[in-house]
Amino acid sequence: MSAPRVRPAFAEVAEQNLDGVLRYLAHLTGDRHLAEDLTSATFERALRDWPRYDPAKGRPSVWLVEVARRVALDHFRREGRRRAREERYAAGVPEAVSPPEAPGGFSADVRAALGRLTRAERELVALRVVLGLDAAEAGRVAGMSPSAVGTSLHRALTKLRQEVERP
């Protein structure tokens, strides 16, 4: 894949990749509403960092997904700290834990099955299957080698199918 050398306009890039970023975040978080919020935050950060985007290093879509991943991870960290604080203050009070919501927009079986995957597995499904990134691009986003992407994706899809077919 040869990377385009010409820097496109940010508005054009945003228009072309908005759906992809939202899909990625929806898979990653398992929460459609949260994904929309994070999508908005992603494009804010992307606009700020746009001068640092180097077309020679990859497609804008991959770069945007990398930004989205950082935004999501920041959110997960904040959430983790918030939960830890709340647990400290509410020590001893039993809390009802609800299972994570499956990504919206899927059929019931697939939605439920995706909800039982880990974030990392959902992320790979989103990168390779939904967004159509190749193994190298997906590995760049997820921080793994292309071969590790292949192995992990195989594991994730096998698990997904098992979950879908589970009675």
Contact residues toward other proteins (CB under 8 A) are 7, 9-11, 14-15, 18-19, 22-23, 26, 30, 36, 39-40, 43-44, 47-48, 50-53, 73, 76-77, 80, 100, 104-107, 110, 114-120, 123, 125, 128-130, 134-135, 143, 150-151, 153-154, 157-158, 160-162, 164-165
Q: In the bound complex, what is the minimum distance in angstroms from residue 71's beta carbon to other proteins?
A: 12
CA angle 41, 148, 138 (to 5 degrees): 30
Q: In the bound complex, what is the minimum distance in angstroms from residue 9's beta carbon to other proteins?
A: 6
Q: In the bound complex, what is the minimum distance in angstroms from residue 158's beta carbon to other proteins?
A: 5
Cβ atoms 69, 141 nearer than 8 A = yes
> How far is it, in rounded angstroms, from Cα 18 to Cα 64?
9
> How far is it, in rounded angstroms, from Cα 114 to Cα 91?
32
For other proteins, the closer of residues 59 and 129 by Cβ is 129
> How far is it, in rounded angstroms, from Cα 76 to Cα 55?
29
